Structure 1
Amino acid sequence: MKMLVKSFVAVALLAGTAQAALAAPKPAAAAPAAAPAAAGVKAGVNGIAFAYLDAIIENSAANRAADAQRPTTYKAQIDQAEARRKQLVAQIQPMVDKYNKDAAAPGANAAAIQQQGETIQKLQESGQQELQKILEPVNLSRAYVREQILDKLDASIQAAMQKNGVTLLLDPRAKLASSNAYDLSRAILTEVDAAIPNAQLVPPAGWLPREVREQQAQQQQAAAAAGGAAPAAGRPDAGGGR
């Protein structure tokens, strides 16, 4: 019972939290990017450094500008999702209250309680899917901006490494001792901002994230391979009629 109520509250608050997050850009200090090294000083021991790549993307000028513009550009979708979220809360919360009351009553009918719970669960799931569908353009915009930044990230990393004498860049989770490496995040961020100060906010019609495009391409290749193999498998042996 507690799990069911908690699940509903989480779903309801999730959409509200997402809407609130879209209403204002993230602060620049949100990421753990460190201050740049002193001018002319080579990085770390034997050119070793580490970098917070996700934080670099989040704090890039292009991403922050997009976060600031998105609530205006997608205001209709955000307002629609928030209005629908409130409707779902108004619809489901009384059902949750009744479920809790009936479940706590002496001699409660277990089958009837279970049926109530399943009905609520289905409404929760369908409501969450509906909200995600409404906000799909917003999420695609986020993915589109991120992909544009990622396209510039590798070259920015290489430039920052070369300028700072870094020959080995580590994931922060692989960092063993801070005295043997330093944070190259700020230097990479500078390169990213120079390479892509602004990103296109609205993706082209029909655009899909790279991972989805790659998955579709793999499926098409597999289907093409299967289609080509089927006739070959069913072809009679060339010498069978002799």
Structure 2
Amino acid sequence: MRIILKSALAASLIAGAVSAQPVLAQASGTVVEGIAVANLDAVVANSNAFKTAETQRQTTYKAQIDQASQRRDAITAQLKPLVDKFNADSQAASPNQASLQQQAATIQGIQESAQEELQRILQPVAMSRAYVTEQVEDKLDQAVKSAMAKKKVSLLLSPQAVVAVNAAAYNLNQDILTELNTLIPSAQLVPPAGWEPRQVREARAQQAAAAGQAAPAAGTSTQPQGR
């Protein structure tokens, strides 16, 4: 057993502050009337509003990003001697398995705590990205319908639903992107106080609905009658 220390511990959390946008395929060739393919995630990520927000976020949330980067480096430095010792001990002729298990548990505990800490530090950054994404997605349906109408498309497929296709010939990405950029040229970067992502709001609503259904059921339970 060997533990490899990656200096990019939780780097995905920090690197997420500069997320790369998927490349859009360009439309070309002859398109069979009524059919098109579109990668809506790529359209959102390549929209002007989303890309501008990604750039602005580096300045607005610089303090959180820098703090997370500094903590990542400090945690990596803290873990390195522990990992080096673990790897050295594991290479012994007769390694002490109990000691190795204890060392591994210590390292894992530090890594898990570090990930939670970095997530807390970067939560404002993640909330900002979720807020911007939701604003763009709220205009996506209208952009899709407009692009489909202009191109006379009646069936729009996702890339995952197609086994093989001349993607460039049937691609509607750029048309949707053009409509989306018109509908929402920019987005608000900082969410208002108390804002929650759509998934959280929907989950909360489902819990409330379930609780509301359970309450009447409990109230209508039959009570035993006395003589």
With normalisation by structure 1, the TM-score equals: 0.85
**Structure 1 equivalent of residue 17 of structure 2:** 22
**Alpha-carbon distance between aligned partners in 2 of 1:180 and 1:60, rounded to the nearest angstrom:** 19
Match of 1:210 among 177, 198, 216: 198
Please state how far the C-alpha of 1:17 moved relative to its aligned partner: 5.3
**Alpha-carbon distance between aligned partners in 2 of 1:182 and 1:86, rounded to the nearest angstrom:** 46
Match of 1:145 among 113, 118, 132: 132
C-alpha contact 1:152 1:196 (8 A) present in aligned 2 = yes
**Alpha-carbon distance between aligned partners in 1 of 2:89 and 2:165, rounded to the nearest angstrom:** 58
Cα 1:111–1:26 shift into 2, 3 Å: closer
Please state how far the C-alpha of 1:14 moved relative to its aligned partner: 4.9
Cα 1:84–1:179 shift into 2, 3 Å: closer
**Alpha-carbon distance between aligned partners in 2 of 1:162 and 1:91, rounded to the nearest angstrom:** 58
**Alpha-carbon distance between aligned partners in 2 of 1:198 and 1:137, rounded to the nearest angstrom:** 19
**Structure 2 equivalent of residue 102 of structure 1:** 89
Q: Which amino acid aligns with 2:17?
A: L
Match of 1:34 among 26, 44, 59: 26
**Alpha-carbon distance between aligned partners in 2 of 1:180 and 1:144, rounded to the nearest angstrom:** 31
- Mapping of residues 63-142 of structure 1, within 5 Å: 63-142=50-129
**Alpha-carbon distance between aligned partners in 2 of 1:97 and 1:143, rounded to the nearest angstrom:** 38
C-alpha contact 1:15 1:85 (8 A) present in aligned 2 = yes
Please state how far the C-alpha of 1:179 moved relative to its aligned partner: 8.2
**Structure 1 equivalent of residue 214 of structure 2:** 226
**Structure 2 equivalent of residue 55 of structure 1:** 42
**Alpha-carbon distance between aligned partners in 2 of 1:180 and 1:97, rounded to the nearest angstrom:** 51
Match of 2:173 among 185, 202, 205: 185
Cα 1:20–1:236 shift into 2, 3 Å: closer
Please state how far the C-alpha of 1:46 moved relative to its aligned partner: 3.0
C-alpha contact 2:25 2:167 (8 A) present in aligned 1 = no
Cα 1:65–1:109 shift into 2, 3 Å: same
Task: State the identity %.
Answer: 50
**Alpha-carbon distance between aligned partners in 1 of 2:14 and 2:108, rounded to the nearest angstrom:** 23
Cα 1:219–1:45 shift into 2, 3 Å: same
Please state how far the C-alpha of 1:26 moved relative to its aligned partner: 4.7
C-alpha contact 2:127 2:197 (8 A) present in aligned 1 = yes
- Could you say which structure has the higher helix fraction? 1
State the Cα deviation string for residues 177-208 of structure 1 (Å, max 9, x = none). Answer: 32896101000000000000000101111211
Counterpart of 1:201 in 2: which secondary structure? Answer: coil
C-alpha contact 2:13 2:118 (8 A) present in aligned 1 = no
Q: Which runs of 5+ in 1 are unaligned?
A: none
- Mapping of residues 150-165 of structure 1, within 5 Å: 150-165=137-152
Counterpart of 2:8 in 1: which secondary structure? Answer: helix
C-alpha contact 2:132 2:188 (8 A) present in aligned 1 = yes
Cα 1:179–1:55 shift into 2, 3 Å: closer
Counterpart of 2:111 in 1: which secondary structure? Answer: helix
Counterpart of 1:169 in 2: which secondary structure? Answer: strand
**Alpha-carbon distance between aligned partners in 1 of 2:46 and 2:71, rounded to the nearest angstrom:** 31
